[in-house]
Chain A
């Protein structure tokens, strides 16, 4: 769908690395170029015409985000990406409110950004990290979560879609469970928000993090959505210009209101404007259409690879456009280099989910991650390349 919107697709490439970053449509490119060409200016500090245009565009992105994920626009914080958003949650909010012995439930399929900050926090203040076991398909179920919950459980933190297995977690029922049991619910939406409809309020989320560049937007910008009552009691991680009302020699100071107090310094203005354009573009296509299209492609790929010997698939059941596999006996990176010779772009590695190896007994996989602009022809070319992979080392060596 909509391939004509993407300049990169004019080249003969099959882009299957959307879990890492997505291609940019012309409208997003144009919006960034327009800002840089015609109304470059800083925000909130200028009275001249260009600044007025920029302010309006910039501020309106909060409204766009709020209608996109169903939250209040004052709950939308601009960040540099999901990683920064997740760190703000852990070190800005959780560090202030959790105490020694409090339990945080994670699982081993999580991305580094939703594990490492917690590990650091556990060393700093003594919280206890518990890993909820995955089921036989390496997926996370509410039943397994419930089994791990104790009276000390204060937070459940998870990706709505994991970036290797690609299972879609039941955030509605997990969120409801958290809500009923007074547990904070922190959601990493980096792989879900770009690919499906996500509802912050109805899923009882307390925090939701995502990145712009994984959803057709520019790099360097992301969003943290936080429940307003919680944001009122969250500390900024950065202090400086743009986020204070005043400060005095005697040490008195007052911070600006929420969410501006969390956005010290000059923010990524061009990127925020580009992200706003990207979200409008995705909403026009329709998130349900995007998800449905990816599922069709994934099923088509699964059906086709069934007949190819030596292909090991790790996530046949997961309900997203992520397909993790290896060619038996071939290191993942050699496979991705091989596929590059067919102009097929995939990713090899642990995909920052370094603890997943304990569950699937394999450290590195090749990941195909789809988006709405992929089509059946892309899948056919991948399948052809995999069929021909018997002599893979003649090509990569």
Chain B
């Protein structure tokens, strides 16, 4: 991907992120995810109905990579089934960790395909991934 385009997508999502700001609604799953290795600290909430992700929102302080990745991920995951979401999250993680992945599933998340060149930023890119996985696990526990 062209570097200017990559930067533009990241900056658009950093400056005007999707669904930033939490709401008071107990029907959402909730989690707070802070990075062990840096200072990103974001709170997430997600609503799943009939196995479909209806909404994801977030708030907090994080760097350009974490914030933009969260925004893009939210845009992509809303409307997907839980299984589809898991597949996307898994592929995204594989991309960040330089393993085999299916680019077609990732849309604009592909802007982070070379983040591994900056190893200290991998955790930033993976933060929303961890948060959403946490909430899916919580849902799984509830259902069982």
Contact = CB atoms under 8 A, between A and B. Distances in A.
A176 to B, nearest CB: 38
A396 B11 CA distance: 11
A355 to B, nearest CB: 14
**Residue with the highest number of chain A CB atoms closer than 10 Å, among B39, B40, B120:** B39
Interface string A344-363: 00001110000000000001
Interface stretch (A24-32, A74-82, A331-339): A331-339
Nearest to A331: B63
B6 interface: yes
A333 B39 contact: yes
B7 to A, nearest CB: 5
A316 B134 CA distance: 42
B39 A364 contact: yes
Contact of A364 (B7, B10, B61): B61
Contacts of A363: 41, 61
B64 interface: yes
B38 interface: yes
Contacts of A45: none
A363 B124 CA distance: 18
Given A334-B64, A396-B64, A348 B39 contact: yes
Contacts of A348: 38-39
B121 interface: yes
B63 A393 contact: no
Interface string B25-52: 0000000000000111100000000000
A333 B7 contact: no
A331 B61 contact: yes
A10 interface: no
Nearest to B39: A349
Nearest to B111: A397
| Residue in A331, A334, A349, A350 with the greatest tally of chain B CB atoms within 10 Å | A331
Contact of B11 (A332, A333, A337, A397): A397
B7 A394 contact: yes
Interface in A214-231: none
Nearest to A396: B64
Contact of B7 (A331, A334, A349, A393): A393
Interface residues on A, range: 10 to 19
A134 B7 CA distance: 41
Interface string B119-134: 0110010000000000
A333 B6 contact: no
A122 B41 CA distance: 27
B11 A331 contact: no
Nearest to B118: A337
A397 B15 CA distance: 14
Given A331-B64, A364-B61, A396-B64, A350 B7 contact: no
Contacts of A396: 64
A66 to B, nearest CB: 39
B62 interface: yes
A366 to B, nearest CB: 11
B100 to A, nearest CB: 25
Contacts of B61: 331, 363-364
Interface string A376-397: 0000000000000000011011
A337 B121 contact: yes
Given A331-B61, A334-B64, A397 B39 contact: no
Contacts of A332: 39
Contacts of B62: 331
A333 B63 contact: yes
Contacts of B67: 331
Contacts of A331: 61-64, 67
Contacts of B40: 333
A397 B6 contact: yes
Contacts of B6: 397
Contacts of A394: 7
A334 B11 contact: no
Contacts of A350: 39
A333 B120 CA distance: 11
Interface of A: 331-334, 337, 348-350, 363-364, 393-394, 396-397
Interface of B: 6-7, 10-11, 38-41, 61-65, 67, 118, 120-121, 124
Given A333-B39, A393-B10, 8 more contacts: A331-B62, A331-B64, A333-B63, A337-B118, A363-B41, A396-B64, A397-B7, A397-B10
